């Protein structure tokens, strides 16, 4: 798949003011629908955590969090990358029961992000998590939750087009489940991103199962932190985005590691030292619930439904001057 280009003859369907109104409507509708569909309640969440807690998401293992000192605290604080681990801790602390869950507005800074029309240093998403039985740690549970989330996305699309008829339907009727190994088998000579493109062009919306572990080729489809998702029971919701002619990831999610898969994945990635961190110790000792959870990109979703050419049209962030100038020449003003 080629790099993302400014679409030819692009014209925004909603001006800056209408876009702001539409963002509010979109977020409010989807948030309510998702909470009702998955039986979630909203909670407050941290913007930063202690660096010695083991709670921060280390993403692909190479990104460095923004850190700072706090008066009277002997550990630096880190701006979160995501709340993947914190949510599981919170479900336990707040005494949630099986089948119940939480969601929150997660804001993060990923300073090492490579900036382009769909990637920003500022990350905003709905982070959600709910408790399940250990016996429900299986693909059927994963697919059921994915289908429910996709139903919320479909209802959100219907709602926003009713509010703004100038917008168009883009989601396929159903989401197609495919494993990362099946994609590699079908497109062995393509990169993972190019496989995603071909699959999205073919099916419209896909959920790729199994991200993090090595495939038959010896490489993973994509990197994933070893201590929150079970690599056999996770995946990404990806949709075809015709405005940019790309596969657009809207959500990364999965059933979380249990005691055995945590130890196994830390060994595979030579990260066994994390077993000494507070969060990981609680998990191995059986002090945390079994859960499923994920993140759903807020700006990504708004960009998709409002048919924008750059994520900077729906969120305020920092962009290279060259990028700002290039888009401005094409009549696109980044916030």
Which residues belong to the active site?
A: 57, 110, 125, 236, 249, 252
Pairwise CA distance, residues 245 & 197, whole Å: 8
Angle at which helices 298-305 and 139-163 cross, to 10°: 50
Other C-beta atoms within 10 Å of 285: how many? 9
For the chain, how long is the longest CA-to-CA vector? 58
Q: In the sheet where 67-68 sits, what is the strand order?
A: 48-50, 77-79, 67-68
Residue pair 266/272 in contact (Cβ under 8 Å)? The answer is yes
Minimal CA–CA distance to 212: which of 235, 241, 184? 235
Angle at which helices 16-38 and 139-163 cross, to 10°: 140
Token code pair at residue 73:
């605290």
Residue pair 117/300 in contact (Cβ under 8 Å)? The answer is no
Q: Are strands 67-68 and 48-50 parallel, antiparallel or unpaired?
A: unpaired
Other C-beta atoms within 10 Å of 174: how many? 13
Pairwise CA distance, residues 224 & 211, whole Å: 7
């Amino acid at each position: 798949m080629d790099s993302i280009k400014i679409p030819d003859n692009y014209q925004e369907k909603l001006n800056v003011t209408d876009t702001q109104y539409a963002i509010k409507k979109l977020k409010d509708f989807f948030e309510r629908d998702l909470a009702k569909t998955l039986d979630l309640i909203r909670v407050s969440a941290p913007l930063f955590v202690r660096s010695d807690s083991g709670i921060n998401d280390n993403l692909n293992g190479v990104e460095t969090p923004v850190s700072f000192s706090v008066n009277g605290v002997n550990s630096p604080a880190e701006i979160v990358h995501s709340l993947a681990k914190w949510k599981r801790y919170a479900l336990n602390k707040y005494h949630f029961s099986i089948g119940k869950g939480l969601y929150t507005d997660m804001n993060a800074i990923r300073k090492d992000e490579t900036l382009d029309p769909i990637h920003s240093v500022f990350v905003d998403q709905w982070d959600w998590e709910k408790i399940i039985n250990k016996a429900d740690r299986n693909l059927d549970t994963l697919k059921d939750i994915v289908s429910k989330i996709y139903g919320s996305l479909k209802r959100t699309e219907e709602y926003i087009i009713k509010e703004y008829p100038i917008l168009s339907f883009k989601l396929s009727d159903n989401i197609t489940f495919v494993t990362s190994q099946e994609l590699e088998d079908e497109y062995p000579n393509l990169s993972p991103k190019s496989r995603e493109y071909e699959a999205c062009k073919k099916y419209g919306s896909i959920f790729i199962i199994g991200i993090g572990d090595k495939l038959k080729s010896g490489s993973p489809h994509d990197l994933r932190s070893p201590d929150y998702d079970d690599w056999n029971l996770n995946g990404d919701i990806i949709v075809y985005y015709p405005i940019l002619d790309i596969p657009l990831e809207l959500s990364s999610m999965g059933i979380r590691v249990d005691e055995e898969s945590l130890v196994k994945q830390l060994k595979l990635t030579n990260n066994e030292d994390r077993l000494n961190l507070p969060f990981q110790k609680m998990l191995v000792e059986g002090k945390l619930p079994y859960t499923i959870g994920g993140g759903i990109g807020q700006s990504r979703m708004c960009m998709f439904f409002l048919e924008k050419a750059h994520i900077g049209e729906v969120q305020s962030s920092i962009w290279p001057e060259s990028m700002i100038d290039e888009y401005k020449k094409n009549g696109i003003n980044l916030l």
